[in-house]
Amino acid sequence: RLQLPAAVNMIIDVLQAHGYEGFAVGGCVRDSVLNRTPDDWDITTSATPYQVKELFPKTVDTGLQHGTVTVMVHGVGYEVTTYRIDGEYEDGRHPKEVQFTSNLTEDLKRRDFTINAMAYSKDRGLIDEFGGMNDLQRKIIRCVGDPWQRFGEDALRILRAVRFAAQLGFEIEENTKKAIVELASTLSKISAERIQTETVKLLMSDRPEMWRSVYDLSITRIIMPEFDAIMETPQNTPHHMYNVGEHTLKALSLTEKDRILRLTMLLHDIGKASMRTTDANGVDHFKGHGPAGKEIAKKILRRLKFDNDTIAQVTHLIYWHDYRPAPEEKAVRRAIHKVGEDLFPLFLKVQRADNLAQSMYLREEKLARIDGVEKLYHEIMEKHQCVSLKTLAVTGRDLIAEGMKPGPQMGAVLQELLEVVLDQPEMNEKEKLLAWWKEHGTCQKAEG
């Protein structure tokens, strides 16, 4: 017996009372069986969208042409979708045409994996026509029907298989796996947005290091070839025990579930493939891989159609990830200024995961340094010390009042004053700074 939310039972009851069938279906049934909390509750019904709309006072036309109406209950939406048979998928994306049917089995047959192809209602119990329960118990991801055909209809299912394996800790069934490897290249037909969604779900799972399977199954080659390059980049340094890609996977496994943090760890060393030099002793160096990685990461994230804010944060963290401020007040204030107040806590988390995923060489020292920096960061924040122009005691307006002409020079002066304050917080007073400027300023002085 599964526990469905009252609203889901109500919707199914209303459908049944009017002579239609209704079931909870797909991911929510799977998650309920596993005692996981479903993201959303989907209902499948023999009623057509127009019939559904007539039965409920508040509905939203989510995708009438695909049979979906959202029924609103107490402000929460439940997607109610008419039983359908998906025709062939257009360019491996959307079904070219959907055909409604009154047969539940047909609707379950179109679904991707056996564990996602079960339906449930409290009156009819579990409908499991493709061995979904058995696969759930045996922890197996298996296509409904022939994997080659199913991936042929919609190549995104290739990536979904790995994503579910990562989320649930399941194995992919042999034939399904074989088809994945053979058909991986067809993922090139799939839109960046859909690939992004699955990528993020995998990275935000309990096993982000399962990104390894995306590589092992020849999928990164299509969706992120830059990752293949780091899997093939050795790093012979005392700091590392793995090649760049293996280190990345290890670091990923050590981070908490934060979207920006996980994306940053996935790409933090992406610049190493192009920046590797080997010295006379056979030791590798990767000077400048942070800044180089920023550019490569930007290309990858843009290609996957991530939003600008995400791209800015992730690439900024990648740029600075290898920067090691000393655990001293001045250095930490400067670091907060460079990395930015907002991203500084994540910057510390990136450094921690990065160091923990390295070899034991100097590990205690590295972690102690980060602890020291973090402690100082909190102290500096608590004391509200100035670490950016925002809180500098002198503004452009003050400089103009002192007779300076507006222009690009002004920014340079403010930056110079900020440098003073980063070294000596007690200098952050208007009078003191203006006096300092008149005496020591190297930038343009007031004219006249």
Contacts with ligand ATP, residue ranges (CB under 6 A): 26-27, 39, 42, 111-112, 116-117, 154, 156-157, 201
Q: Which is nearer to ligand ATP, 26 or 325 (CB)?
A: 26
Between 24 and 433, whose beta carbon lies closer to Mg ion?
A: 24
Instruction: Select from Mg ion, ligand ATP, none the partner in contact with residue 107, using the beta carbon and a kind-dependent cut-off of 5 to 8 Å.
Output: none
Q: Tokens 């053979």 appear where?
A: 182
Q: How far is the CB of 139 from ligand ATP (least distance, A)?
A: 16
27 vs 132, which CB is nearer to Mg ion?
A: 27
Nearest residue to Mg ion on Cβ basis: 27
How deeply is 48 buried, as exposed, middle or buried, from its count of CB atoms within 10 A (0-12, 13-18, 19+)?
middle
Residues 179 to 218 in contact with Mg ion, rule: CB under 5 A: none
Taking the complex as a whole, how short is the minimal distance between the CB of residue 284 and ligand ATP, in angstroms?
A: 40
Minimum CB distance to Mg ion, residue 39 (Å): 5
Residue 365's binding partner out of ligand ATP, Mg ion, none, with CB under 5 to 8 Å set by partner kind: none
Asked if 298 contacts 316 with a C-beta cutoff of 8 angstroms, the reply is no
Structure tokens at 154: 């919609």
Using the rule CB under 5 A, is 271 a contact of Mg ion?
no
Q: Which is nearer to Mg ion, 40 or 328 (CB)?
A: 40
Positions in 37-66 near Mg ion (CB under 5 A): 40
Q: How far apart are CA 126 and CA 12, in angstroms?
A: 14
Q: How many residues bind Mg ion (CB under 5 A)?
A: 2
List 59's β-bridge partners, or say none. 71
* Spatial contact of 181 and 140, defined as CB atoms under 8 Å apart: no
Contact predicate 172/162, CB 8 Å: yes
Using CB under 5 A, pick the residue from 27, 67, 95, 290 that binds Mg ion. Answer: 27
Contact (Cβ atoms closer than 8 angstroms) between residue 367 and residue 355: yes
**Residue in 392, 429, 430 with CA at minimum distance from that of residue 414:** 392
25 is an interface residue for Mg ion by CB under 5 A: no
Task: Locate the DSSP E strands across 229-317.
Answer: 277-278, 284-285
Best CA proximity match to 116, nearest among 204, 32, 1: 32
Using CB under 5 A, which of the segments 23-31, 261-269, 355-363, 414-422 binds Mg ion? 23-31
d(CA 26, CA 108): 8
- Closest CB to ligand ATP among residues 157, 337: 157
Q: Which residue type does 38 have?
A: P
Per CB under 5 A, the segment of 5-13, 19-27, 130-138, 293-301 that binds Mg ion is: 19-27
Least gap, CB of 163 to Mg ion (angstroms): 12
| C-alpha to C-alpha distances, 32 to 1, 190, 285, 337, nearest whole angstrom | 10, 30, 50, 47
Which CB sits closer to ligand ATP, 154 or 354? 154
Nearest-approach distance from CB 26 to ligand ATP, in angstroms: 3
Nearest residue to 162 (alpha-carbon basis) of 127, 130, 137, 187: 187
Tell me: does residue 115 bind Mg ion (CB under 5 A): no
112 binds, among ligand ATP, Mg ion, none (CB under 5 to 8 A by kind): ligand ATP
Contact of 288 with 235, CB cutoff 8 Å:
no
371 binds, among ligand ATP, Mg ion, none (CB under 5 to 8 A by kind): none
Residues contributing to the site for Mg ion (CB under 5 A)? 27, 40
